[in-house]
């Protein structure tokens, strides 16, 4: 989706290139990797990854692990949920559960800022640079929510095996593509795995150059 990515020593690395703020949708404002379109109907119960951060000269650093990406056309991923880490030089470090939504379905796809970001919940966290963190997002479905008056998925976030928060999504059985990326710093990703119960939906340990799709012209 953005950035200058390389595969080396079994990791996908982006060294902190300043992302272009396109504002067509939020993921385009990050240096991130997005799963291929064939994953756009994938249900899942677990998304996990290991990453580390480096190379920052920014006052704010953000890391995003997005799931249930949905696009009405091509790669316009207006609609998704995500776990977002926010780190600032003044010492404030938080991790949030967010939702991105397209605002006006009648406007052209390339309309800028036609989306909104809603923060569903936030917790304190501690993330150091040049240190690996294992992040796992576990989703369970089917619980009735009295406020939303419908069945809602529940998402629980674990960092290095420790539960950080658990919250309801205003949606049921969310599915779609997956993405991971950063802005304001370099990011190195050791692996990413998505499961639906015991079945592996998607996995990549970056042992080979798998982040670019090949096009063959006849």
Q: What is the pLDDT of residue 147?
A: 61
Ordered by start, the domain boundaries in the chain are 5-204
Identify the band that residue 218 occupies on the pLDDT scale cut at 50, 70 and 90.
very low
CA-based nearest residue to 71, from 25, 111, 32, 112: 25
Tokens of 192: 């990413």
Residue 73, phi then psi, degrees to nearest 5: -165, 125
pLDDT (mean) for 5-16: 94
Q: What is the pLDDT of residue 2?
A: 83
Q: What is the pLDDT of residue 40?
A: 61
Q: What is the pLDDT of residue 38?
A: 66
**H or E segment to which residue 68 belongs:** strand 60-70
Q: What is the pLDDT of residue 217?
A: 44
Cβ-Cβ contacts under 8 Å for 207 (sequence gap 6 or more): 10
Domain spanning 5-204: CATH superfamily: Exo-inulinase; domain 1 (2.60.120.560)
Q: What is the pTM of this model?
A: 0.91
List pLDDT tens digits, range 15-72: 988 888 999 999 999 999 998 766 567 789 999 999 999 988 789 999 999 999 999 9
List pLDDT tens digits, range 81-112: 999 999 987 778 999 999 999 999 999 999 99
Average per-residue pLDDT for the chain: 90
Residue 173 has pLDDT above 60, yes or no: yes
Q: Is 43 left (phi over 0), alpha (psi -120 to 50) or beta?
A: beta
């Amino acid at each position: 989706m953005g950035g200058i990515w390389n595969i080396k020593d079994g990791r996908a690395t982006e060294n902190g290139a300043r992302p272009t703020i396109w504002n067509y949708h939020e993921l385009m404002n990050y240096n991130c990797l997005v799963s291929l379109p064939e994953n756009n109907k994938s249900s899942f119960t677990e998304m996990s990854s290991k990453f580390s951060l480096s190379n920052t000269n920014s006052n704010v650093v953000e890391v995003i692990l997005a799931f249930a990406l949905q696009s009405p056309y091509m790669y316009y991923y207006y609609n998704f949920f995500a776990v977002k880490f926010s780190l600032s030089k003044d010492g404030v470090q938080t991790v949030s559960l967010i939702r991105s939504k397209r605002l006006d379905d009648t406007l052209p796809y390339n309309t800028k800022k036609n989306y909104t970001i809603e923060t569903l919940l936030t917790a304190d966290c501690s993330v150091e640079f040049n240190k690996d963190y294992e992040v796992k997002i576990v989703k369970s479905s089917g619980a009735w929510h009295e406020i939303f008056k419908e069945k809602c998925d529940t998402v629980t976030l674990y960092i290095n095996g420790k539960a950080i928060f658990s919250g309801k999504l205003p949606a049921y059985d969310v599915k779609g593509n997956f993405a991971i990326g950063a802005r304001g710093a370099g990011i190195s990703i050791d692996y990413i795995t998505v499961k639906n119960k015991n079945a592996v939906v998607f996995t990549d340990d970056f042992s080979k150059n798998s982040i670019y799709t090949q096009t063959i012209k006849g």
